[in-house]
Amino acid sequence: MKNYVHKVNYYECDRMGVTHHSNYIRFMEETRIYAMEQMGYGFERMEAEGVVSPVTAISVNYKKPTTFPDEIEIELKVLEMSNLKMRFGYRMTVRGALVCTAESTHCFLEGGRPVVLEKRFPELYAKFKEIMDAQQ
Amino acid sequence: MKNYVHKVNYYECDRMGVTHHSNYIRFMEETRIYAMEQMGYGFERMEAEGVVSPVTAISVNYKKPTTFPDEIEIELKVLEMSNLKMRFGYRMTVRGALVCTAESTHCFLEGGRPVVLEKRFPELYAKFKEIMDAQQ
Amino acid sequence: MKNYVHKVNYYECDRMGVTHHSNYIRFMEETRIYAMEQMGYGFERMEAEGVVSPVTAISVNYKKPTTFPDEIEIELKVLEMSNLKMRFGYRMTVRGALVCTAESTHCFLEGGRPVVLEKRFPELYAKFKEIMDAQQ
Amino acid sequence: MKNYVHKVNYYECDRMGVTHHSNYIRFMEETRIYAMEQMGYGFERMEAEGVVSPVTAISVNYKKPTTFPDEIEIELKVLEMSNLKMRFGYRMTVRGALVCTAESTHCFLEGGRPVVLEKRFPELYAKFKEIMDAQQ
């Protein structure tokens, strides 16, 4: 899977002159969506089927500030897959230097109720599983 | 009707150290919603009935920069009401000094189709009309 | 110290109809700034003296979705104070129901170099310490 | 000059399920910055020389809603160049259909004072002029 690249926008930087820390959470979402696109399974397809994938937890470690017009390269890892949740890892670098590491945990809901990804979207599940296994 | 006050947040300021110009569009939305609340007609009530009110046009004149932690006082005017659209005016000041003027135009849609506000929400229409007339 | 209240804005909600998870990071910043104001020590005063306080880590647990026009009440706790970092805790509720818990860790920099808060801003340090001790 | 393409992000869509109207202002900024990059004159270079280019006015006409994951293609035009201001035009399309037109007006400031672009950055001025003339 290819890494995602987010080019920092001018308006994403704050008064300190650096990318506002809240924006990394958005870059993480962009990365997940990009990964699903690469798997041939766009996020909007899941949504169109009435399944949403809320974030239940995130943690972020900011290592170095970034700023406009840095290009942040983001590597996505699948850290955990269980019946009811998925956990992703993120490694962000700018010109090779580590700037941020992060994790996000997700569940899957349909009509407000938990969905077992493996049953509901076996194909997508298999692709994530394959990526996870390939990482090890 | 009372003026709305938006206190500029740290994260709303950009690398130049001033409130990013895109955020004023959001302050305008906050002002409209605040006005509807004061009329006893929350925006979410309109939405709950299946009517949305997209913005069809905006124009903004930036007079002076603002920054964190400025308090922007925003006066809302109803400039025009017709069958299919409403036009609002905004006058934004910080400690009495004019910082921004703006306008926004809106239509009303239900199930994707234009709605005549006066027929669909006569009570809300009457309140906006009253405000418009009181201004003159 | 009074709790901070953030009223969710329309534009802070996403396609799922709920507050986008990235925005909670911004509410956390608003809460810290509000706390400093209450201490009589506005954030801009620290900045004016050339000291910035970057976030080095955050973690957030999303318990329940919130949406426009919910009022999120945010309780700030000082969890840890050491020479080079501070750690805050956040407990967010809507009408009494827990919606989110979070933590953020910060350092203090002046001209790019670490600052010992206790030495550089003894008054501010004392106030945070007082709050931390009062919590226990 | 190549058109800029902004792929709508999930978090840029609102409760109505469409791109929030404030975000188009940001896409316009991205487009200007992309144009300057193509001219070999990155925006950060101007900023590094101490010159900033605040937006003094914008106007936007929203023609059709867009949503995630639409790709908005944005054509930039130079509408006006005078000693103290520049005015740009934007034409945004999705799969060929017009979704938005807009304009923005800018001045140039150095140390808070107006700068005559033609004198301060003759090379950049010449490039914009060339683009403007080529459009006609």
Token pair of A54 as six digits: 């809320």
Share of chain C above pLDDT 90, in %: 76
Q: Quick one: pLDDT band at residue D136, thresholds 50, 70, 90?
A: low
Chains adjacent to D (≥3 CB pairs closer than 8 angstroms): A, B, C
In C88-127, the residues whose Cβ lies within 8 Å of chain B are none
D21, D45, D104, best to mutate vs chain B, most B CBs in 10 Å? D21
A65 in contact with B at a CB cutoff of 8 Å?
no
Q: Checking DSSP bridges between strand D55-62 and strand D97-106, what pairing results, if any?
A: antiparallel
- Model ipTM? 0.94
Share of chain A above pLDDT 90, in %: 76
Predicted local confidence at residue D135, as pLDDT: 87
Evaluate whether C90 touches C45 at the Cβ level (below 8 Å).
no
- How many other C-beta atoms can be found within 10 angstroms of the C-beta atom of residue D89? 15
Q: Check B15 against A13: CB less than 8 A apart.
A: yes
Predicted local confidence at residue A4, as pLDDT: 98
Predicted local confidence at residue B40, as pLDDT: 87
Would the pTM count as exceeding 0.90? yes
Q: Check A42 against D10: CB less than 8 A apart.
A: no
Predicted local confidence at residue D12, as pLDDT: 97
Local structure of B67: helix, strand or coil = coil
Question: Which residue does chain C place closest to B23, by CA atoms?
Answer: C11
C-alpha closest to that of C92 among C36, C25, C33, C35: C25
B83 in contact with A at a CB cutoff of 8 Å?
no
Q: Check C26 against B9: CB less than 8 A apart.
A: yes
Contacts of B13 in chain C (CB under 8 A): none
Q: Quick one: pLDDT band at residue C63, thresholds 50, 70, 90?
A: very high
C-alpha closest to that of C24 among C86, C80, C99, C108: C99
- Categorise residue B92: left if φ over 0, alpha if ψ from -120 to 50, beta otherwise: beta
Predicted local confidence at residue B25, as pLDDT: 98
> Nearest C-alpha of chain C: how many angstroms from D15?
5
D11 in contact with A at a CB cutoff of 8 Å?
yes
Local structure of C130: helix, strand or coil = helix
B107: Cβ–Cβ under 8 A, 6 or more apart, which residues?
A: B53, B54, B56, B84, B85, B114
Question: Which residue does chain A place closest to B21, by CA atoms?
Answer: A11
Could you tell me the residue range of the domain that residue B86 belongs to? 4-135
3-state secondary structure chain A: CCCEEEECCHHHECCCCCECCCHHHHHHHHHHHHHHHHCCCCHHHHHHCCEECCEEEEEEEECCCCCCCCEEEEEEEEEEECCCCEEEEEEEEECCEEEEEEEEEECCEECCEECCHHHHCHHHHHHHHHHHHHHC
A115: CATH? 3.10.129.10
Token pair of B70 as six digits: 């400025």
Chains adjacent to B (≥3 CB pairs closer than 8 angstroms): A, C, D
C15 in contact with A at a CB cutoff of 8 Å?
yes
- The number of distinct structural domains making up chain C is 1
Evaluate whether A76 touches A89 at the Cβ level (below 8 Å).
yes
3-state secondary structure chain D: CCCEEEECCHHHECCCCCECCCHHHHHHHHHHHHHHHHCCCCHHHHHHCCEECCEEEEEEEECCCCCCCCEEEEEEEEEEECCCCEEEEEEEEECCEEEEEEEEEECCEECCEECCHHHHCHHHHHHHHHHHHHHC
D43 in contact with A at a CB cutoff of 8 Å?
yes
C68 in contact with D at a CB cutoff of 8 Å?
yes
C55 in contact with A at a CB cutoff of 8 Å?
yes
Q: Is residue C50 packed enough to be buried (19+ CB in 10 Å), middle (13-18) or exposed (0-12)?
A: exposed
The string of pLDDT tens digits covering residues B12-68 is: 999 989 999 999 999 999 999 999 999 888 888 888 888 889 999 999 999 999 999
The string of pLDDT tens digits covering residues C4-36 is: 999 999 999 999 899 999 999 999 999 999 999
The string of pLDDT tens digits covering residues D37-73 is: 998 888 888 888 888 899 999 999 999 999 999 999 9
